[in-house]
Structure 1
Amino acid sequence: MSDQDSSTSASQTEGEVEGEMDTELDGEGDRDETLRDSPVLSLSSFSSSLRAVVRIKQKYRAMKKRRQELSLLGLGADGNPAGVPSKTSPKIFTFDGLTPFSSTLSSTSSVPQKKKRRRRKGVLYPNRGRRRAPPKQEQSRAKYCLYLLFAIVFVQVYNAIENLDDHVLRYDLEGLEKTLRREVFGQQGAVDGLLSHLKDYLSTYVHNKPLVVSLHGPSGVGKSHLGRLLAGHFRSVVGETLVLQYYVLHHCPQEADALRCARDLAALISEMVERAEEEEKIPLFVFDEAEHMHGEILDALLQLVAIKRSNEYLNAVYLLLSNLGHAHITKHMLHNSSSISTSNLVKELTPILRNSLEKLHPLWTEADVLPLGLLEKSHVMECFLDEMTREGFYPDHTNIERLAGEVGYYPEVGGHEYSKTGCKQVVAKVNLL
């Protein structure tokens, strides 16, 4: 291998050598030419050529190392930062080579951003080295059954509330309340108690016993009038065939016919409750002048009320009107007129009347007892005003007060003047005008 071949191979391996390397190579080339021209090559000339090749190789390694360091620092080969154009001669400023601003933005925006690496969840590996998925937590199927149970209970409660509203609206208890408060005078406690029992009973169609209400009071306090108002209201909401007004002195005046009357009454009530069951309605039975009812009729009513023969007999309203216990009511009101009130009258007289009525017949053990008190003079004047208005007379206050004064009264006690006959004589006196 000659010196010229080695230098030539080195220069071909490194294509871009700086100017100083070119000069040194030229000098070495000339030296080799002289050596080649000489007929005999000496050892000294060969060693000098070898030293030149080693020096060129060291120079090349130093330059290569320098370029690697510059590339690591981000600098170009000429010492400028990477990407910065080298210095060139100035050019004339024109707008030909400019790019639009939008294209610049699009080019900058198209630079891909570094994506965030998602953190992978750790995978569980068994001890044996075989890969398996993490265990899944199984959900209990009983949870769905619990949800279904909640839905069923909610629907049942909602339907029950709707049924309560439907029953109350069907019987128009608000209209009944307005009628009783407008037509019945001086019996606020009894009216409130009766309406309370009706609202509790008529709010649903399923019952464990029929409703039995017994109204007691002296003559002329409004028992029969209240029964007529209640019967008229039920006729308008449930029909004529599901309301019975039974007057003992009219339907069964003879005691000898008491057994036959009891059988006929039981058959009539059974027929009405069966018809009411088919129509899904609650019938009303009003028994006026119950103090004249015979023992056989009371026994028949007790069997219908107390014995649970079938469901249709449980859906019925019985109203008993009598003057039984009127002596207890009159005595209590005359002796406690100073401290008596409408609410206290019902609370104080109810246990007294119940004890005396249960001794007469067991039927009253199944009934809710409501007492009606004596009427004052102001209540009698209201009865005259209402009756005169119905008959078309001019409601003169002086004339009303004169007519009310003709009614008998108990001696005034505690600032109250109670009537002996209540409003019983009002209709007769107005007819005489």
Structure 2
Amino acid sequence: MSDQESSTSASQTEGEVDGEMDEEMESEGQRNGPVPSLSNFSSSLRAVIRIKQKYQAMKKRRQELAVGLGGAGTLTGAPLRTSPKIFTFDGDPLATYSTHSTLSSAAPQRKKRRRRKRVMFPNRGRRRAPPKQEQSRAKYCLYLLFAIVFIQVYNAIENLDDHVLRYDLEGLEKTLRREVFGQQGAVEGLLSHLKDYLSTYVHNKPLVVSVHGPSGVGKSHLGRLLAGHFRSVVGETLVLQYYVLHHCPQEADALQCARDLSAVISEMVERAEEEEKIPLFIFDEAEHMHDEILDALQQLMATKQSNEYLNAIYLFLSNLGHAHITKHMLHNSSSISTASGRHSNLVKELTPILRNTLEKLHSLWTEADLLPLGLLEKGHVMECFLDEMTREGFYPDHTNIERLAGEITYYPEVGGHEYSQTGCKQVVAKVNLL
């Protein structure tokens, strides 16, 4: 059936329904007899009641018509039914089944839910194998890198130890503690500078140490001990002891002396670079050095020089600033009892004063590490006599040593300490008179 035909039939059906409703209302009026008088009601109320009755009849008729049109498979003229017919064994089974299937097809169908598959686990007796995680091969490369870095660091530490052992600083420490009297604090400071510098071979500047102190406190003796030790470990050609009053006594020859000294130092540092060693340059009586020599040394110690000039040790021995050291020792010895405390206080308080004094003389001491030596007490002088007499083969008589030590000039006693004015400078001369 086409759309036009269906619309035509629907309109005809609605017209027939309206006509039948009017006929039924008239027939019902005839059956019931005469209609009661409605004179008591208003005309509007009568219209509302009539419209309501007509609407209810129309609604009921349309519902029955819609149920009849929904069963398209039924025969034409079959009685309309408003409820589905349940299948029973009474009557025609085919007609009953067809009516039930027709009505059930018109009802909306529910979507069937898809059942999830059950997860099957193995028996309890069997163990489930854990999932295998793929390991990256880069992890082994990382382990190898860690091993290489560890070996490199370990070798570097071993090389540092080997480099320090080459100079035998432990033997040098024993020698200085045994041979140098009354300067244990200064000895510890000097060894600390040497250990820090000699732990590596490549440096960004040379080590410059300036030792200061009054006459007879052991400056020249300290330089001789250092020179002898370094000659035994690095060789005779890499150690220079320079005495200004001996190598350059005339001031007129200062410029030529500076040139000769520069040539000697250049030759030594080049030889040391070939042998991978650090040379030692000792300048005793530095207070007599001329400005031309100091200028030449400052140029050699400049950081702009090549590497071979930076790998060197310069030791200056002088009595510059001895007045400040003597004054400090005499005024502060009573407040500090231990020798190490006296030396630490001496370094702490005198370093700024000495640096200010030395910088006025020459700019060479600007970058130098200052190391002051204190005055020697009477007990230290007696140790000097004992050591010298043993060297000369004399019997170390304690009474004789006290007598010789008493002939030395001392400062007035301060805080229980009796300091020598000349230190151990006259010890050798008095032992030679025995």
Tell me which residue corresponds to 2:161. Answer: 165
Give me the whole-angstrom Cα distance separating, in 2, the residues matched to 1:374 and 1:429.
20
Match of residue 303, structure 1, among 274, 278, 299: 299
Q: What code does the residue aligned with 2:376 have?
A: L
Q: What code does the residue aligned with 1:365 have?
A: T
**Alignment partner of 1:401 is 2:402:** yes
Secondary structure of the corresponding residue to residue 306 of structure 1: coil
Tell me which residue corresponds to 1:347. Answer: 348
What does 1:21-100 correspond to in 2, within 5 Å? Answer: none
Q: Which moved more, 1:330-339 or 1:140-149?
A: 140-149
CA contact (8 A) 1:305 1:313 kept: yes
What does 1:176-195 correspond to in 2, within 5 Å? Answer: 176-195=172-191
1:349-405 superposed Cα distances (whole Å, 9 cap, x missing partner): 222212221222111111110000001111111101110111111111111111111
1:198-226 superposed Cα distances (whole Å, 9 cap, x missing partner): 11111121211111111000000000000
Q: What code does the residue aligned with 2:317 have?
A: L
**Alignment partner of 1:276 is 2:272:** yes
1:286-336 superposed Cα distances (whole Å, 9 cap, x missing partner): 000000001111111111112332111111111100000001000111111
Give me the whole-angstrom Cα distance separating, in 2, the residues matched to 1:157 and 1:333.
47
Q: What code does the residue aligned with 1:212 have?
A: V
**Alignment partner of 1:229 is 2:230:** no
Give me the whole-angstrom Cα distance separating, in 2, the residues matched to 1:344 and 1:156.
42
Tell me which residue corresponds to 1:392. Answer: 393
CA contact (8 A) 1:189 1:345 kept: no
Give me the whole-angstrom Cα distance separating, in 1, the residues matched to 2:411 and 2:282.
31
| CA positional deviation for 1:342 | 2.9
CA contact (8 A) 1:221 1:423 kept: yes
Give me the whole-angstrom Cα distance separating, in 1, the residues matched to 2:141 and 2:265.
47
Relative to structure 1, the CA distance from residue 149 to residue 308 in structure 2 (aligned partners, 3 Å threshold; closer, same or farther) is: farther
Tell me which residue corresponds to 1:426. Answer: 427
Tell me which residue corresponds to 2:329. Answer: 333
- What is the TM-score with the length of structure 2 in the denominator? 0.68
RMSD of aligned C-alpha atoms?
Answer: 1.9
| CA positional deviation for 1:348 | 2.3
Tell me which residue corresponds to 1:361. Answer: 362
Tell me which residue corresponds to 1:82. Answer: none
Give me the whole-angstrom Cα distance separating, in 1, the residues matched to 2:173 and 2:268.
26
Secondary structure of the corresponding residue to residue 402 of structure 2: helix
1:114-145 superposed Cα distances (whole Å, 9 cap, x missing partner): xx9756769xxxxxxxxxxx9x8654454344
CA contact (8 A) 2:209 2:369 kept: yes
CA contact (8 A) 1:306 1:366 kept: no
Match of residue 290, structure 1, among 283, 286, 293: 286
Tell me which residue corresponds to 1:209. Answer: 205
**Alignment partner of 1:247 is 2:243:** yes
Q: Percent identity?
A: 91
Unaligned runs of 5+ in 1: 1-115, 123-133
| CA positional deviation for 1:254 | 0.9
Secondary structure of the corresponding residue to residue 301 of structure 2: helix
Tell me which residue corresponds to 2:49. Answer: none
Give me the whole-angstrom Cα distance separating, in 2, the residues matched to 1:295 and 1:327.
22
Q: What code does the residue aligned with 2:219 have?
A: K
Give me the whole-angstrom Cα distance separating, in 1, the residues matched to 2:183 and 2:321.
17
Q: What code does the residue aligned with 2:284 have?
A: D
Tell me which residue corresponds to 1:73. Answer: none
Give me the whole-angstrom Cα distance separating, in 2, the residues matched to 1:299 and 1:342.
31
Give me the whole-angstrom Cα distance separating, in 2, the residues matched to 1:212 and 1:426.
30
Relative to structure 1, the CA distance from residue 118 to residue 184 in structure 2 (aligned partners, 3 Å threshold; closer, same or farther) is: same
Secondary structure of the corresponding residue to residue 216 of structure 2: coil
Secondary structure of the corresponding residue to residue 188 of structure 2: helix
Aligned residues: 307
Give me the whole-angstrom Cα distance separating, in 2, the residues matched to 1:203 and 1:184.
24
Give me the whole-angstrom Cα distance separating, in 2, the residues matched to 1:257 and 1:395.
47
Q: What code does the residue aligned with 2:404 have?
A: L
Give me the whole-angstrom Cα distance separating, in 2, the residues matched to 1:247 and 1:312.
24
Unaligned runs of 5+ in 2: 1-123, 337-341
- What is the TM-score with the length of structure 1 in the denominator? 0.68
CA contact (8 A) 2:205 2:303 kept: no
**Alignment partner of 1:381 is 2:382:** yes
Give me the whole-angstrom Cα distance separating, in 1, the residues matched to 2:128 and 2:207.
75
1:79-121 superposed Cα distances (whole Å, 9 cap, x missing partner): xxxxxxxxxxxxxxxxxxxxxxxxxxxxxxxxxxxxx975676
CA contact (8 A) 2:285 2:317 kept: yes
